[in-house]
Structure 1
């Protein structure tokens, strides 16, 4: 594990110490780096000891405080192969030392008022920016002087009054590497996932990481006609730089023939899983089979060293989840679930509202979905195959709830009922009530016999509430300012998270970045459904299974 020195300090209008705490959490989750934070500039002198692989600097001012000993320690560290990442006002630090400014290749000149602006990726094939989209942020836009674009590679820019302003660039300095990120004034920026990715990648690149020359070769298991899921996953993966769909498998010959027409050019079309697994250099399998087949087929793939992505739900039982997780760990391969709906527009809007403190602390969440309709005669209505009424859309809703509450579950109360659709074996109606260690409660209802359904979301907080349906707006009532404010916030309709999900899979497998949808999180969802079913059968509240809390 590489050690990184984070140096902070300066006026409070830049949250340099708080940012260090955020960075420490980021790097801990990433798992490749260990961060030491200090405001002691004499730490530069000790860099010659070789303890650190890189330095991250977020300071403001200290115009003449880079003494000769400090300057020598920092600049020689970089010249001799150390990494340096300057964040935002690193360009407004040590300005009395021209050797430092030359190394950074930029010096603060001015900035307009804080506002939301777009960052455009100018170089898409660099370690810092591969698979990254253009993105927008409310922040302070630094304008630089003494910056020579010929002495660096500009990775991202923004536009101000017709001019392109560099917002991220990299360069060499002696044997070392330097990265500068002009963003970082606001806490909102430090909490933005794209800025966080830049930070981690800047540290990795400046300390020696290279963009891998490898493509993850993928196979699709299951090519059923419903929703074109097989075709969809194949195309989503191949559209992701670093991933390529090369094979498919389905036990039904007609579906194999359909794939040959819809996905021409694959290297293999198979009718048996073991035949596809024998294919040379196959790295990853996405499993889109019916729910009851998830665990046995995923285990077959994991045991021969393949990475696995499962369509939701993860599986049917907690025991199956445990077996898959244990096998993936033993084989040191990735196991993940296609929880793509974490990137739905309304859900991301809700998370942003909560992060801004507009409704205070959450104390209760309600989610509902359903209708009054025959569930249809297919495998999703067969409890022995699907698992039950809560396993399909319930997997998304429960994942949303669990990710909004940073606490363990202590109690689950379930209720499943059968009244109308006796010609199929799934329950008609299901509810799960959750209680968490921090006192938050949540409830989820899914029904095929709900003639009137409540809102998709109702979230109550100590300073307000949120309500949302399947529309383009979220309703917020907030008392955070001291007076009641009613708002309707427009949201982007969901793009279903396919790009974001597979982008993360590629980043994880090719660059060692944190996997967003972890198997342990998927197991918690199964743990809720399992506990709800046990509770309903016994007529009492129960605790979730071990590992699912």
Structure 2
């Protein structure tokens, strides 16, 4: 494997999770900061140019963990070179770029996958299990928040003006992908984006409402929430559930914990279950993002499916794009997918009531 990009995502998520998968070997990293790479990897091959890594004969799989506006051109170059490709989220900047990559990967018969690692977060797994068990009956209202308190605008590409920046492109794909895993594609979408912090030049507040008949799914990511919010709030015909805190794997990785170490992915924040008579407390399930690259290894060796199929990534991009269209136009919009794309996406995602048998990939080691 070769990793392009050794910024926050490449260093914090991809490299440790790849190194934890025994069936994958990270042999090269492309980065403009060779010293930063060398401090963590004494023996690895370092490429100053992404194209030279893509062209390397010994690289089978290219992981793209670079700024958002480079995802599509780098993925296109890697696929054209016959490499398997993993792209960090967001998949691309728009739906047309996503369609182009999906078609090219099918033409070249290579694996294409998007790093939707938050499918294996403790908070989401806990909420999903409770919903699938029917703990609160039929879901009528679902809220998913990535609310943070970061009042100062930083000088980095994610917060600078430009295509692909802003909180919606940064955190929206996580929120959308999780919602699609639970409920499939929505009927209609309403979105609103704003820059609220002093000095903000791109959106740092994002709010979307996805309509599923009478069910409403609310997705929110903001940078001026000092506290008092829940990660998940779900209401149903038989009760309600809440999960206050988010998964801790990112925090653990930043602190230097190796994936799979003792207490990896453990979540001390319980699920709260409310019904007409009482309040019940349920321990949270552990998260384990190693499942993503375990799934990649299984897919490449013919032992299992792609953990994030291209059509699922395409569906996620369609909803991300629809929110931006709605926010700019002030209108409610449909998911901008062709009938054949929507049918394929729904087939891949599965109907909500049939997902009880779907579980995250199993990590085979202790």
Q: Same fold (TM over 0.5)?
A: yes
User: Equivalent residue of 2:46, what SS?
Assistant: strand
Q: Report the 3-state secondary structure (helix = DSSP H, G, I; strand = E; otherwise coil) of the residue aligned with 2:158.
A: helix
* Counterpart selection for 2:204 from 428, 433, 445: 428
Instruction: Go from structure 1 to structure 2 and tell me whether the alpha carbon gap of 1:356 and 1:376 turns closer, same or farther (over 3 Å shift).
Output: same
SS in 2 for 1:381: coil
Deviations 1:92-151 (A, max 9, x none): xxxxxxxxxxxxxxxxxxxxxxxxxxxxxxxxxxxxxxxxxxxxxxxxxxxxxxxxxxxx
TM-score (norm 2): 0.81
Contact 1:335–1:519 under 8 Å retained in 2? yes
What is the aligned counterpart of 2:130 among 350, 353, 372? Answer: 353
RMSD: 2.1
Gapped runs of 5+ residues in structure 1? Answer: 1-217
> Once the two structures are superposed, what CA deviation does each residue of 1:328-377 show, in whole Å capped at 9, x if it has no partner?
11111111111122111121111221222111111221122324512322
| Cα deviation, residue 241, structure 1 | 2.2
Gaps of 5+ in 2: 246-267, 346-366
Q: Could you tell me whether the CA contact under 8 Å between 1:395 and 1:525 is conserved in 2?
A: yes
* 1:404 counterpart residue number: 182
Larger radius of gyration: 1
1:494-513 to structure 2, matched below 5 A, reads 494-495=287-288, 497=289, 499-513=290-304
Encode CA deviations 1:449-477: one digit per residue, 9 max, x unaligned: 34555311111111111111116111112
Give how far 1:425 is off.
1.8
Kept after mapping to 2: 8 A contact 1:371/1:453: no
Contact (CA 8 Å) 1:231, 1:263: kept in 2 or not? no
> Residues of 1 paired with 2:102 and 2:317: CA distance?
13
The correspondence for 1:538, drawn from 312, 329, 333, is 329
1:300 to 72, 77, 86: 77
**More relative contact order in 1 or in 2 (CA 8 Å, sep 6+)?**
2
1:466 aligns with 2:247: no
1:463–1:327 Cα change, 3 Å: same
From 520, 523, 526, the counterpart of 2:314: 523
Q: In the aligned structure 2, how far is the partner of 1:239 from the partner of 1:445?
A: 32
**CA offsets 1:16-47 (integer angstroms, 9 cap, x no match):** xxxxxxxxxxxxxxxxxxxxxxxxxxxxxxxx
* 2:155 matched residue in structure 1: 377
Tell me, what secondary structure is at the counterpart of 2:181?
Answer: helix
CA 1:276–1:431: 2 relative to 1, 3 Å: same
Among residues 473, 486, 491, which one is paired with 2:284 in the alignment? 491
Given that residues 219 and 284 in structure 1 are in contact (C-alpha distance below 8 angstroms), is that contact kept between their aligned partners in structure 2? yes
Hey, what does 2:2 align to over in structure 1? 219
Pairing 1:119-268 to 2, within 5 Å after superposition: 218-224=1-7, 226=8, 229-230=10-11, 232-250=13-31, 252=32, 255-266=33-44, 268=45
1:231/1:262 contact within 8 Å kept: no
Q: What does residue range 42-121 of structure 1 map to in structure 2 within 5 Å?
A: none
Q: Quick check: 2:147–2:229 contact (8 Å CA) kept in 1? A: no
Is the CA contact (8 Å cut-off) linking 1:415 and 1:432 kept in structure 2? Answer: yes
1:442 and 2:217 aligned: yes
| Cα distance per residue 1:187-225 (max 9 Å; x no partner) | xxxxxxxxxxxxxxxxxxxxxxxxxxxxxxx0010112x
Indicate the larger mover: 240-249 or 386-395.
386-395
Q: Secondary structure at the match of 2:25?
A: strand
